[in-house]
Amino acid sequence: MEKVWWPLVGNFEHLHPEYEIYDWNRRSQFLDFAFITGNGDRIGIECDGFQSHIKDMDRERFSYALNRDTFLAGMGWRMLHFAFDDIQNRPEVCRMLLQMSVMPMMIGTSATPTLTPMQKDVLKLAWRSGRAIRPKDVMEVYRINFRTARNHLNILVEHRLLKPVGDGKYVRYYEIVGGFPKLLLE
């Protein structure tokens, strides 16, 4: 997770390796990683190798693997799977997918009183898009005018959650600053 989680989040807090869970038969199983937030959200992260998870799998193991994920989803877990080859050779793909899947949920669970619900939504949009965000993007998604969109973006700049980028005279777009903002996890 050093190549995927750390560059995105900036810490390993609340991330538990080899996390023990139990299936519907009370059989002990281990998730590669479990991320458990302070408010109880649970995300299981599996790093699946081709040899052990696909090539050597028979029909019974295949069925069990699908049923286990479905059971865990029913128990409130959000399961994410990454190919081991992608983690090793294409970590940027894994970071992008992790960012799209996990970060909006983390922002939505924030207890930060300094951001309004709309500002949180704009920050979610920035994380989901996986690229720099423009006032036009905010205008189109939330059906607001340019001035209101820019004000929301500028407040996120003041909180050091976004960074304005431009040609010196005009701001063209806004980029996410560093890793995921820790203050939104509390």
How far apart, in whole angstroms, are the C-alpha atoms of residue 146 and residue 162?
17
131 or 107, greater pLDDT? 131
How far apart, in whole angstroms, are the C-alpha atoms of residue 151 and residue 119?
10
Considering the chain, what percentage of its residues have pLDDT values greater than 90? 27
pLDDT surpassing 90 at residue 138: yes
Tell me, what amino acid is at 79?
M
Burial classification of residue 163, based on how many CB atoms lie within 10 Å of its CB (0-12 exposed, 13-18 middle, 19 or more buried) = middle
Nearest Cα neighbor of 21 from 4, 33, 7, 3 is: 33
pLDDT surpassing 80 at residue 135: yes
Q: Do the Cβ atoms of 78 and 97 come closer than 8 Å?
A: no
Q: What are phi and psi of 21, to 5 degrees?
A: -135, 170
Per residue in 41-52, pLDDT tens?
789 999 988 766
Q: What is the mean pLDDT of residues 62-90?
A: 90
Within 10 A of 132 (CB to CB), how many other CB atoms are there? 15
pLDDT surpassing 80 at residue 97: yes
Q: Provide the whole-model pTM.
A: 0.56
Domains of the chain (ranges plus CATH)? Answer: 5-101 (3.40.960), 110-184 (1.10.10.10)
Tell me, what amino acid is at 85?
D
Q: What is the mean pLDDT of residues 143-171?
A: 88
How far apart, in whole angstroms, are the C-alpha atoms of residue 181 and residue 115?
13
- Residue whose token pair is 């989803």: 73
What pLDDT was estimated at residue 150?
A: 92
Coil, strand or helix: which one is 56?
coil
pLDDT surpassing 80 at residue 89: yes
Within 10 A of 173 (CB to CB), how many other CB atoms are there? 18
What pLDDT was estimated at residue 79?
A: 92
Q: Which region among 1-5, 29-33, 52-56 has the lowest average model confidence (pLDDT)?
A: 52-56
Q: Do the Cβ atoms of 48 and 83 come closer than 8 Å?
A: yes
**pLDDT bucket at 167, cuts 50 / 70 / 90:** confident
